[in-house]
Amino acid sequence: MTRQRFTIHQDADGTFRLAGSLTVEHLDYLKFFLDEHLSRVKNIALDLGGVEYWDVRSLQLLIAYRKALPVGSDWKITGLSAELENILLKSGLKTFLCP
């Protein structure tokens, strides 16, 4: 069984593009990315257009990271598909991730 990939690329304008399946198998990778890359950036822009599925653990990791951002940091989520947005709304997590 092939595990669904999860990838992160950075565009020329600094936007990080997340793609694939944002699930518990990739939490280590996601945390590494948050720790090593995002911590160096003040204005964070995440394009989630390529994310096909996510689970609650990956969401809570992103939410915890956002909450820990220093005052004055910018946090921007773009590219959210209607389905993922719907999941966020149904779970009451939208305001925490995309305030």
Q: Which parts of this chain interact with other proteins (CB under 8 A)?
A: 1-2, 4, 20-21, 23-24, 27-28, 30-31, 34, 52-57, 59-61, 63-65, 67-68, 81, 83, 87, 90-93, 96
14 close to 41: Cβ distance less than 8 angstroms: yes
In angstroms, what CA-CA distances link 92 with 68, 75, 88? 20, 19, 6
Kindly report the backbone phi and psi dihedral angles of residue 27, in degrees, each rounded to the nearest multiple of 5, phi listed first. Answer: -60, -40
H-only helix segments in 1-99: 27-36, 56-67, 82-91, 94-97
CB of 98 to other proteins, least distance (A): 13
Residue among 13 and 36 whose Cβ is closer to other proteins: 36
If the CB atoms of residues 13 and 23 are measured against other proteins, the closer one turns out to be 23
Residue with smaller CB distance to other proteins, 78 or 95:
95
